Amino acid sequence: MKTNDLRILTEKLLQFNEDAHKSFLHCRETGEKGDFYKEVKPFADKVRDSCVQWESAAMEWVSNNKPKNLHPIQLKNTAENLQMVSVRAFFPDSSLKKFNSHIQSNDFILRRMIESLETSK
């Protein structure tokens, strides 16, 4: 995968992370769970497919370029956390503290990835 394609995919995951956060806040405000077949599953499937593609490409890029502050375990955890929040975003009874922690962690690693991709040009 080209560096530019990886950057675009990383930005897509960053957007999914923000969408999950917005959905979670909306569900907490209304107290209503998302419809599993209309909202939860389609969103979670899109996120999962993108995460699988991103994780392998990002791992390869990191092993080849060895950026200063990115490590394979962080990429693996980010892909897993993103998939988890993509489901939990639609359930208002999820722990706010834990959910926000995962969102912030995902955001941090994805932004580091974008920065590393741009500085490697």
Mean per-residue pLDDT over the chain, rounded: 95
- CB-count exposure of residue 117 (10 Å: 0-12, 13-18, 19+): buried
Report whether pLDDT(85) > 90: yes
Inter-helix orientation angle 96-119/72-88, to 10°: 140
Contact present, 48 and 86 (Cβ < 8 Å) = yes
Report whether pLDDT(100) > 80: yes
Average pLDDT over residues 72-88: 97
pLDDT tens column, 39-58: 999 999 999 999 999 999 99
At 1 the pLDDT is: 76
* pTM of structure: 0.94
At 73 the pLDDT is: 96
